[in-house]
Amino acid sequence: MNRFLTRLVSVREIPVLLALFIVLVVTGIANPQFVSASGAQDIFLGVAVIATLSVGMTFVITMRHIDLSVGSTAGFTAYMIGKMSAHHHGLVTSLLVALGIGLIVGAANGFLVAYLRLPSLVVTLASLWIVRGVFDQIAGGDTVTDNQVPVALGYLGRHSFANIPYIFIIAFVLILVASFFMRSVRPARDLYAMGSNPPASELAGIPVARRTFFAFLASGAVSGLGGAILLARFHSADSNSGLGLELNVIAACVVGGVAIAGGVGTPYGALIGALLLQSITQALGALGVSQFWQLAVNGTLLISAISLDRYLTLRVKPTRILRVKS
Amino acid sequence: MTDAVLRVSGATKNFGGVRALHNASLTLYAGEIHALLGENGAGKSTLLKTLAGVHRLDAGEIILDGKKFHEGSTRLAREQGVAVIYQEPNLFPDLTLAENVFAGRQKVNGKIVDWVGMQTEAQTLFDQLGVPLNPRSRARGLSIADQQIVEIAKALSLNAKVIVMDEPTAALSSKEVERLFNVARALAKRGAAVVFVSHRLDEVFELTDRLTVMRDGATVGTGITLDTTEADVIHLMVGREVSELFPKGFHPIGDVVLSVKNLAHDGLFENISFDVRAGEIVALAGLVGSGRSEIARAIFGVEKYSHGTITMLGKELAAGSPSKAMAVGIALVPEDRRLQGLFMAASIAKNSSVTILNRIKKGFLVRSKDEAEIAKTWGETLELKYADINDPVERLSGGNQQKVVLAKWLASQPALLIVDEPTRGIDVGTKAQVHKLLSDEAGKGLAVLMISSELPEVLGMADRILVMREGLMVKEFSRAEATSANVIAAATGAVTV
């Protein structure tokens, strides 16, 4: 492979973007309806929630941690927003409550991981269950119905600007802001250092515990508010809302070039990853392939993504010694 | 010279019951290069880590630039003007070099990270140091020498008054050492006090202005390098005369044990042929990165090779299988004991017996008692210093860790022992023990293939010396023919020396 190509591939977002393009073109040729405005709208609607949650997840994965609690948190707050609206609380109040729930979960995760140094995989698996358990207890078999969804959220979930759904625009703006933040603001740059070499970041004087805490706090806050997008998207919520969502979010991040080993990745990469996964799901649907194969294809894609990662990390090792002769 | 930049006095530090520093002192002047010497465990590391802000003294005083030095914070240490360059620098592989220079203190415009500013300044620093590094490339894959330069650039940008280099040359080739020395001299010229820690005395005498020797946590001597001899220093370090550092005895050489024919691997080495006989120590000399370790790894089966044959005791050895290599009696003591040689968190007992679990198991089970037994026996032979045989090896000093690696391979009773940099980063006393051990084992008929970057070690230990350069075997010397001059000339490709 020549040097230009290598560099192109090592900007992790580019191969993903390329794959996305190929999926769209190939499916478009096979089924022209797929590339219509409504096809695009479906894809955008499909990624809005995952893209939103991937912002917090990118923070966390970049510093070599994981947050499994985002699906439970978002599902719980989606339900709470709907229920509070049904009891005639204003949208602002319910959003604040949602944010509060997210902050509490994020602060608990952050405290346990940053200050007690417990492994994030276990801590957030526990909080996934705890939040889901509390959620089940409160919701029982109850459902937030379409007419209980706050009017404004219902509107955002159903309408578009220039064929782009509002909830996607919200997620997109969030992604843009987060991407800028991660490129150009000091505490966010520290997350890359921490994920790249944890002991060295301590030696470099980076306040590792504080940064870890705030990254989990941010992930919690994003998930809390993400519940509003989830509610707007599905116009309903019950105790199953957001179940398993965290895995889709992690997949979007990894496919989009956020290395699970930390140190690299961007929120916009995660967005592209989410778009690719969603496009494939819908492309396979448009081509009449069964649900089972869609999951299998997503799995294969994940493995390709980490294989590419591995290849890129390995190939930079300088190996040639012989200079006399090839 | 002017007033002292740094004055450490009465430094005392205990870890649990272990006395790491006892009334140690160190004085540094601006513009000097100062060697800090001592065996492993003499207290150098503790003293340096205190200056780096990792430890806090139990008693004693540190005055930096006329002010009391605030201990116990790496960030504060840096801000007060102390920079430490570790033997294996700790860069962030995924970040650019510019960001590595400014890690944890990125330049900002208001709140926004100033990328251009960081890159420009990093470029200026690299230029000043005279190294062609690109501040925009990522640190992953950088050689250790270049990584050190990045750390030094960081120290420069901090305007460090005291720059500590902790065994910086251990993993460098001689050309890189040369470059590092020039950089160190430039730093001193700018008015920094440079502390140079090394186990290589020739380097100390080439580079430094003054030296301080520590032993058992105390400072036992300090003086001007020119007025001191190597013998003085060694005497101070060990508190006894080390008459013979490299004591390979003369033993009868037996039959061929290992025979390598036309071994080649794309891009790494080519046309490699040699034999090692029973009782013989054969050294692979050459610069770091000349392909020596790659050959060792190919013989042991950790790496594959594309051409050639390896014959062990008359039988051809299958490629790419360490377990097959072990089965025919090959042992490899790798160059990086922490990463490749030991299970750091496992006990001395478990590490020592890991190569012979098949031999000591009873039925399907391995008994801890038997493991401990093996470890204790070898511990005695190697004069291993430990508190409890069940302590994790990470608690041992570097030299003692190396003894455990040797123990675990000698326990397997190999016919061929390959040792890759067997004495890197270990103190003079232990070094002598390792050399004596290798010599003794050779005397009992062991074939030894030794890779070493330390010329005195090669010249003193080896019966034959094979010199590698850029993946080719360029020269062979017998013990009688070899001199430091002709080995260096062969290794570097110099026409005249």
A326 pLDDT above the threshold of 50 = no
> Using 50, 70 and 90 to split pLDDT, how confident is the model at A6?
low
Find out whether B397 and B366 touch, Cβ atoms under 8 Å.
no
> Does B112 or B267 have the greater pLDDT score?
B112
Across the interface, do B270 and A322 touch by the CB < 8 Å criterion? yes
B3 pLDDT above the threshold of 90 = no
As a whole number of angstroms, the distance between CA B448 and CA B276 comes to 7
- Give the H or E element holding residue B464: strand B464-469
> Using 50, 70 and 90 to split pLDDT, how confident is the model at B16?
low
| pTM exceeds 0.80 | no
Strands of the B210-215 sheet, one edge to the other = B82-85, B162-166, B193-197, B33-37, B210-215, B218-224
- Give the CA angle between residues A314, A319, A324 to the nearest 5°: 160
> Using 50, 70 and 90 to split pLDDT, how confident is the model at A203?
confident
As a whole number of angstroms, the distance between CA A22 and CA A28 comes to 10
What's the Cα-to-Cα distance from A237 to each of A48, A98, A140, B126, rounded to whole Å?
A: 16, 14, 12, 58
B433 pLDDT above the threshold of 60 = yes
Name which of B90, B113, B143 is nearest A185 (Cβ-Cβ): B113
- Number of helical H runs and strand E runs in chain A: 14, 4
* pLDDT (0 to 100) of residue B17: 61
Tokens of A143: 């459902």
B496 pLDDT above the threshold of 80 = no
Q: In chain B, pLDDT over 90 holds for what percent of residues? A: 49
Find out whether A43 and A275 touch, Cβ atoms under 8 Å.
yes
User: Best of B54, B91, B94 to disrupt the A interface by mutation (most A CBs within 10 Å)?
Assistant: B94
Residue B372, min C-alpha distance to chain A (Å):
33
- What's the length of chain A? 326
What residues 174-203 of chain B have any CB closer than 8 A to a CB of chain A? none
As a whole number of angstroms, the distance between CA A124 and CA B156 comes to 42
Chain B touched by A204 (CB under 8 Å): yes
* pLDDT (0 to 100) of residue A8: 59
* pLDDT (0 to 100) of residue A37: 80
A23 Cβ neighbours under 8 A, 6+ residues apart: A276, A279, A280, A283
Residue B477, min C-alpha distance to chain A (Å):
22
* pLDDT (0 to 100) of residue B396: 86
DSSP label of B318: P
Q: Which domains does chain A have, with CATH numbers?
A: 46-315 (1.10.3470)
> Does A319 or B362 have the greater pLDDT score?
B362
Find out whether A78 and A230 touch, Cβ atoms under 8 Å.
yes
> Using 50, 70 and 90 to split pLDDT, how confident is the model at B73?
confident
Find out whether B390 and B346 touch, Cβ atoms under 8 Å.
no
As a whole number of angstroms, the distance between CA A272 and CA A295 comes to 18
Find out whether A246 and A71 touch, Cβ atoms under 8 Å.
yes
**What would the pLDDT profile of B285-337 be if each residue is shown by its tens digit?**
987 778 899 999 999 999 889 999 999 999 999 998 999 999 999 999 998 88
DSSP label of B95: S
Find chain A residues with C-beta within 8 A of B106's C-beta: 186, 189
Name which of A196, A199, A320 is nearest B93 (Cβ-Cβ): A196
Mean pLDDT of A240-265: 93
> Using 50, 70 and 90 to split pLDDT, how confident is the model at A187?
very high
What residues 245-264 of chain A have any CB closer than 8 A to a CB of chain B? 259, 262-264
* pLDDT (0 to 100) of residue B18: 66
Find out whether B86 and B102 touch, Cβ atoms under 8 Å.
no
- Number of helical H runs and strand E runs in chain B: 17, 22
Residue B108, min C-alpha distance to chain A (Å):
8
**What would the pLDDT profile of A87-130 be if each residue is shown by its tens digit?**
989 899 999 999 999 999 999 999 999 999 999 999 999 999 99
**Chain A: residue whose CA lies nearest to B103:** A204
Find chain B residues with C-beta within 8 A of A195's C-beta: 94
Mean pLDDT of A169-188: 95
Residue B143: phi and psi, rounded to 5, are -70, 160
**Chain B: residue whose CA lies nearest to A314:** B141
What residues 206-245 of chain A have any CB closer than 8 A to a CB of chain B? 206
As a whole number of angstroms, the distance between CA B497 and CA B486 comes to 8
Chain B touched by A3 (CB under 8 Å): no
Across the interface, do A186 and B267 touch by the CB < 8 Å criterion? no
Mean pLDDT of B132-149: 87
Residue B121: phi and psi, rounded to 5, are -65, -40
Mean pLDDT of B462-471: 90
Chain B touched by A314 (CB under 8 Å): no
> Using 50, 70 and 90 to split pLDDT, how confident is the model at A155?
very high
> Using 50, 70 and 90 to split pLDDT, how confident is the model at A1?
very low
Residue A199, min C-alpha distance to chain B (Å):
8
Tokens of B193: 């006090």
**What would the pLDDT profile of B114-135 be if each residue is shown by its tens digit?**
999 999 999 999 988 888 899 9
Q: Bridge partners of B466?
A: B284, B476
Name which of B52, B104, B108 is nearest A190 (Cβ-Cβ): B104
Domain ranges of chain B: 4-91+142-238, 256-492
Does the fold of domain B256-492 match that of domain B4-91+142-238? yes
Chain B touched by A322 (CB under 8 Å): yes
Chain B touched by A183 (CB under 8 Å): yes
Domain B256-492 belongs to what topology? Answer: Rossmann fold (3.40.50)
As a whole number of angstroms, the distance between CA B334 and CA B341 comes to 6
Chain A touched by B303 (CB under 8 Å): no
Residue B268, min C-alpha distance to chain A (Å):
5
**Displacement of CA A310 from its chain's centroid (Å):** 21
Across the interface, do A196 and B113 touch by the CB < 8 Å criterion? no
> Using 50, 70 and 90 to split pLDDT, how confident is the model at B29?
very high
Report the interhelical angle of A37-62 vs A166-184 (nearest 10°): 30
As a whole number of angstroms, the distance between CA A68 and CA A247 comes to 8
- 3-state helix, strand and coil shares in percent for chain B, rounded to the nearest 5: 35, 25, 35
Chain A touched by B56 (CB under 8 Å): no
Find chain A residues with C-beta within 8 A of B175's C-beta: none
Find out whether A13 and A257 touch, Cβ atoms under 8 Å.
yes
**Chain B: residue whose CA lies nearest to A201:** B104
* pLDDT (0 to 100) of residue B494: 59
Mean pLDDT of B157-163: 91
Across the interface, do B104 and A201 touch by the CB < 8 Å criterion? yes
What's the Cα-to-Cα distance from A173 to each of A155, A168, A222, B408, rounded to whole Å?
A: 18, 9, 13, 59
What is the CATH architecture assignment of B4-91+142-238? 3-Layer(aba) Sandwich (3.40)
Q: With a cut of 0.90, is the ipTM above it?
A: no
**End-to-end alpha-carbon separation of chain A, Å?**
17
**What would the pLDDT profile of B234-281 be if each residue is shown by its tens digit?**
778 766 544 456 667 777 899 999 999 999 998 789 999 999 999 999
**What would the pLDDT profile of B361-418 be if each residue is shown by its tens digit?**
888 888 889 899 989 998 988 888 888 899 999 888 888 899 999 999 999 999 999 9
Instruction: Quote the mean pLDDT of chain A.
Output: 89
Q: Bridge partners of B419?
A: B333, B450
